[in-house]
Amino acid sequence: MPRTTGARVTRPTRPYSPTPAEFDRWTATIDTRRAAEKTSREKALIEALLAHPDSRHVIDLETTFPGGGARRIDLMTLEMVDGRPTVIAGEVKTYDDGRMRRNAEAWLTEDGKPEIFKQRKLYRHNIAANREAMATQYAIAAMQMIRLADAAGIDWDVPEAFRAAAEEGTVAVDPELRLIVVGESREARNYASWPPHRKRLIDAGFCGVELVEGQGLGQLSTVTAWSE
């Protein structure tokens, strides 16, 4: 989440326009860091997901919170929900991620449930505790992204939610976490054992969407149950 140094948050009064050389340095740094982080299958799938045109509502990656420790929410989207720009949290996992899987007997005890339960509890808490700051900071982030695209001469089809957030100076914050389960294909070996674990997650009230390589994220606001 974009950070502030003081208790009071104000919107910038003068837009900053980077020089072409500055913008090139920034993008080169981002590309270098992304290349260095592509060390796992999950990260490679996330990169492919983000590069898809249908993932254009993503506004933030690896979101951290004050006092939230090392835990980071994979991504945040900014979408129009009931006429308001709204931030929605998404956690990306692969089909075979052990943090979503346990045998049927283990699910019968609180300690035996998979790691994703602890993640959901923590992320819900962090979102609720930082709702006010998120409402302001993501509006500022949307405004700055639009300005940067204009300054760089990028032909960006700005999503309606980004423009609305920049104009209103605030956004709504969805309290729920959506799971984004990704994989190379549904024919892959690691998918065959997935359905029973998915059913347990659904029964436990998780909202999620399943995607394979080549698909975009779409809008998380439409994920109110489980979508395959």
Per-residue pLDDT tens for 26-37? 666 666 665 555
122 part of a folded domain: yes
Distance CA 215, CA 106 (A): 33
19 part of a folded domain: no
Residue 219 pLDDT greater than 90, yes or no: yes
For 72, other C-beta atoms within 10 Å of its C-beta total 14
* 207-212/84-94 β-pairing: unpaired
pTM of the entire predicted model:
0.79
For 112, other C-beta atoms within 10 Å of its C-beta total 12
Determine the structural domain holding residue 174 and report its residue range.
Answer: 40-227
Considering its fold, how many domains does the chain have in total? 1
163 part of a folded domain: yes
Q: Supply the pLDDT for residue 31.
A: 62
57 part of a folded domain: yes
66 part of a folded domain: yes
Q: Give the chain's length.
A: 228
The pLDDT-based confidence of 38 (bands split at 50, 70, 90) is very low
7 part of a folded domain: no
pLDDT digits (tens, 9 = 90+) for 137-147: 999 999 999 99
| Class of residue 86 by CB neighbours under 10 A (exposed 0-12, middle 13-18, buried 19+) | buried
29 part of a folded domain: no
149 part of a folded domain: yes
